[in-house]
Amino acid sequence: MLISTELVSALNAQIGHEFGASLQYLSIAGHFEQQRLKLLARLFFDQAEEEKTHALKIVHYVLETQAGLQISAIPAPKPEFGSAEEAVEAALNWEREVTGQITRLMDLAVSQNDYVSQGFLQWFIDEQLEEITKMDHLLSVIRRAGANNLLMVEAYLAHLPADK
């Protein structure tokens, strides 16, 4: 095995967190889909797929390092949200939590002088800045629009470049 058992255990737990995030984003997408807010729904369907990709990236790393794959249990996602603001605020809080999880993984890799894992985890650290920025920006747009003006948020999203 190329990485410590402690790091393998933490990475396996992170796989569960990433799959859990994917399910939570599907739940948020469903919330917006039910309100016929198609662009907000698509944003979160895409985010769910991205989180699944993150989980699979960690799965492949664990397997490449010849460590044991043992994915942790995945909690059920929150099924309902009282508002668009609540749904996006939950996403932002989740991304902040994931940032802490990834930071702790990096701290562990650094403490073990595991340079291979540090290189692998740096990509996730960089990704978290993008994730937090995206959700923070969306939350501020939703708050400015107000609960009765979510169609304006949809119009705003329609005019964003495809890479945003």
CB 87 within 8 A of CB 30: no
pLDDT value of position 48: 97
DSSP for 58-85, please give it. HHHHHHHTTPPP-PPP-PPPP---SSHH
**Using a CB cutoff of 8 Å and minimum separation of 24, what contacts does 115-121 make?**
116/2, 116/3, 116/65, 117/3, 117/7, 117/65, 120/61
Using one digit for the tens of pLDDT, what is the confidence trace for 101-160?
A: 999 999 999 999 999 999 999 999 999 999 999 999 999 999 999 989 899 999 999 988
pLDDT value of position 160: 81
Using one digit for the tens of pLDDT, what is the confidence trace for 37-58?
A: 999 999 999 999 999 999 999 9
pLDDT value of position 65: 92
Using one digit for the tens of pLDDT, what is the confidence trace for 53-82?
A: 999 999 999 999 988 899 888 889 999 999
Domain 5-158: which CATH class?
mainly alpha
What are the φ/ψ torsions at residue 110 (nearest 5 degrees)?
Answer: -65, -45
Q: What residue ranges do the domains of the chain occupy?
A: 5-158
